């Protein structure tokens, strides 16, 4: 599999390492250096038309860091991304090149950077945007590479320095107070400097402030259940997957739907998950359903979408008829890859949630993955779903949604679904 050349890795040297240190991010793993060294079990890859995934399988969880390097013409090196793995020893003779090459990757090299740190270098064929994150069971580091976007007027492109600019406090601040990076069209195709950053997830707790959302007979407000579940989900994602998590609101306040999706777009987020609870005049109706954006003729869905979109439309235009057949007209933006990934995300979120709840609670019903014209999903650049975690109007589900143990279980199920989506190698490849 691997040839035995050292590929000049150690020669990268301390000077180069320090030069890159400003761009370097450590992501904490559980194991310290006191433990026996971890091993790289395998490096594998999967490539699609627009996307390459490189997976570093490890013998146990470790801390890792990553950075990018511009091309080095003096040494004949292309733009590179490297990942340093703390507490990892390469087996003797294992250092060298891994035969991975495709439209975005020239080759992958490994080397022992120091006594306690192994380095994996990806020699890039083109400028890329890299998303790096960790997954458990088995422990592994995932590097997702997509070609750096060309500057086009229709799709805002963040400046190269932007990925470092997201404030540390952003995960705890609502859009109103977060200095989210400004969207600025890039002037020119910058030199071939790749970009790497953590995966970003935006969680959107439905409603808030003057908009309580649906109300249960016992006075349970949808906005409060959604917010508590969102907060629990945020902590799980940040703690266990090492991804960056942002909330569209971090307290009980009204945030217009338009602002929520703008927030996610400005952050160049990778996933958008909107959390809601359902309501029906039929008190017996119960169950869990997950939506992705698409128009439909289903009357129940149109009623629901009208409820979820409602406050914003009334704010915009008092004349909007509440009896209109359609709550609003879907923008005709091209969905393409985003829709394929949204369907995949909706499927994982729905099954993750239902499969986590069923062994713990009786009568958990799956109403399935559905399509619907939800305003908050329309115009997001990233895969986006809206989950209805249950009916506040059903006596059993309403009572459960009012209990913190159930909301914790819902958050765990949502976490499981998002994790499965990130593990799914089909992401980015469906056409
Ligand atoms: Zn809602």
Q: Per residue in 384-413, pLDDT tens?
A: 999 999 999 999 999 999 999 999 999 999
Residues 6 or more apart whose CB falls under 8 angstroms from that of 269 comprise: 200, 201, 202, 246, 382
Centre of ligand 1 to C-alpha 207, Å, is 6
Q: Which residue has the higher pLDDT, 73 or 234?
A: 234
Distance CA 56, CA 34 (A): 22
* Whole-complex ipTM: 0.99
Architecture of the domain whose range is 199-423: 3-Layer(aba) Sandwich (3.40)
pLDDT digit string (tens) for 2-52?
A: 333 222 222 222 223 323 333 455 565 544 445 678 899 889 888 877 788
pLDDT of residue 312: 53
Q: Cα of 306 to ligand 1 centre, how many Å?
A: 10
Asked if 181 contacts 166 with a C-beta cutoff of 8 angstroms, the reply is yes
Using one digit for the tens of pLDDT, what is the confidence trace for 102-117?
888 988 988 888 888 8
Q: Name the strand (E) or helix (H) holding 20.
A: helix 13-21
Distance, CA 248 to ligand 1 centroid (Å)? Answer: 14
Pairing of strands 244-247, 271-278: unpaired
Least confident span in 246-260, 351-365, 415-429: 415-429
Helices marked H in 22-93: none
Ligand 1 centre and the CA of 222: distance in Å?
7
Phi and psi torsions of 370, nearest 5°: -135, 165
Cα of 303 to ligand 1 centre, how many Å?
12
Q: What is the rounded average pLDDT of the residues 117-139? A: 86
HSE, CB side, 13 Å, CA atoms: give it for residue 204. 30
CATH number of the domain at 10-158, out of 3.40.1160.10, 3.30.565.10, 2.60.40.3500, 2.60.120.10?
A: 2.60.40.3500
Q: What are phi and psi of 384, to 5 degrees?
A: -145, 140
Calculate how far, in angstroms, residue 252's C-alpha sits from the geometric centre of ligand 1: 14
Specify the DSSP element, H or E, that contains 93: none
pLDDT at 97 over 50: yes
- Structural domain spans, the chain: 10-158, 199-423
The sign one gets for the Cα dihedral 15, 17, 18, 19 is positive
Residue 359 Cα, ligand 1 centroid: separation in angstroms? 26
Distance 393 CA to ligand 1 centre (A): 13
**CA angle centred on 17, ends 14 and 20, rounded to 5°:** 150
Q: Classify residue 206 by burial, with Cβ atoms within 10 Å: 0-12, 13-18, 19+.
A: buried
CB 229 within 8 A of CB 275: yes
Determine contact, residues 98/107, Cβ cutoff 8 Å: yes
Residues 157, 195: Cα–Cα separation, whole Å: 13
- Nearest to residue 8, comparing CAs of 113, 158, 79, 88? 113
How many angstroms is it from 322 CA to the middle of ligand 1? 17
Distances, alpha carbon 267 to alpha carbons 77, 171, 293, 332, in Å: 31, 11, 20, 23
Question: How close is the Cα of 325 to the center of ligand 1, in Å?
Answer: 19
Determine the pLDDT at residue 118: 87
Domains 10-158 and 199-423 belong to one CATH topology: no
pLDDT digit string, tens, across residues 230-278: 999 999 999 888 789 999 999 999 999 989 999 999 998 999 999 999 9
Cis peptide leading into residue 138 (ω within 30°): yes
Q: What is the pLDDT of residue 428?
A: 56
Separation of CA 400 and ligand 1 centre (Å): 17
CA distance 211 to 333: 28
**430 Cα: distance to centroid of ligand 1 (angstroms):** 29
CA distance 84 to 69: 13
**Ligand 1 centroid from CA 302, angstroms:** 13
Phi, psi (degrees; rounded to nearest 5) at 353: -70, -50
The CA 361 to ligand 1 mean position distance, Å, reads: 23
């Amino acid at each position: 599999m691997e040839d035995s050349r050292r590929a000049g890795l150690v020669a990268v040297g301390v000077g180069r390492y320090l030069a890159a240190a400003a761009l370097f991010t450590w992501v904490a793993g559980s194991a310290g250096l006191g433990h026996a060294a971890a091993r790289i079990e395998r490096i594998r890859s999967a490539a699609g038309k627009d996307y390459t995934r490189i997976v570093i399988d490890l013998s146990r969880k470790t801390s890792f860091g990553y950075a990018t390097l511009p091309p080095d013409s003096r040494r004949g090196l292309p733009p590179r991304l490297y990942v340093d793995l703390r507490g990892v020893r390469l087996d003797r003779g294992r250092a060298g090149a891994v035969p991975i090459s495709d439209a975005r990757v020239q080759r992958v090299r490994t080397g022992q950077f120091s006594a306690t740190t192994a380095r994996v270098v990806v020699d890039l064929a083109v400028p890329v945007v890299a998303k790096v994150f960790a997954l458990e069971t088995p422990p592994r580091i995932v590097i997702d590479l997509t070609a750096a976007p060309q500057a086009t007027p229709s799709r805002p492109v963040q400046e190269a320095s932007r990925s470092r600019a997201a404030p540390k406090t952003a995960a705890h601040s609502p859009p109103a107070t977060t200095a989210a990076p400004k969207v600025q069209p890039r002037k020119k195709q910058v030199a071939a400097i790749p970009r790497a950053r953590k995966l970003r997830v935006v969680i959107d707790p439905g409603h808030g402030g003057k908009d309580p959302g649906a109300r249960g007979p016992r006075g349970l407000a949808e906005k409060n259940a959604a917010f508590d579940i969102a907060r629990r989900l945020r902590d799980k994602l940040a703690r266990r997957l090492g991804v960056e998590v942002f909330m569209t609101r971090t307290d009980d306040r009204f945030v217009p739907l338009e602002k929520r999706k703008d927030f996610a777009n400005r952050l160049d987020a990778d996933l958008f998950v909107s959390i809601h609870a359902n309501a029906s005049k039929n008190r017996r109706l119960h169950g869990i359903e997950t939506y992705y954006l698409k128009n439909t003729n289903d009357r129940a869905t149109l009623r629901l979408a009208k409820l979820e979109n409602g406050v914003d439309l009334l704010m915009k235009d008092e004349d909007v008829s509440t009896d209109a057949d359609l709550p609003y007209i879907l923008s005709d933006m091209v969905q393409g890859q985003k829709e394929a990934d949204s369907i995949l995300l909706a499927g994982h979120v729905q099954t993750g949630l239902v499969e986590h709840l069923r062994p713990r609670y009786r009568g958990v019903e799956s109403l399935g993955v559905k399509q619907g014209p939800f305003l908050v999903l329309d115009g997001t650049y990233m895969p986006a779903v809206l989950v209805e975690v249950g009916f506040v109007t059903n006596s059993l589900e309403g009572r459960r949604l009012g209990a913190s143990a159930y909301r914790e279980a819902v958050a765990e199920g949502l976490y499981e679904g998002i994790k499965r989506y990130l593990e799914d190698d089909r992401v980015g490849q469906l056409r």
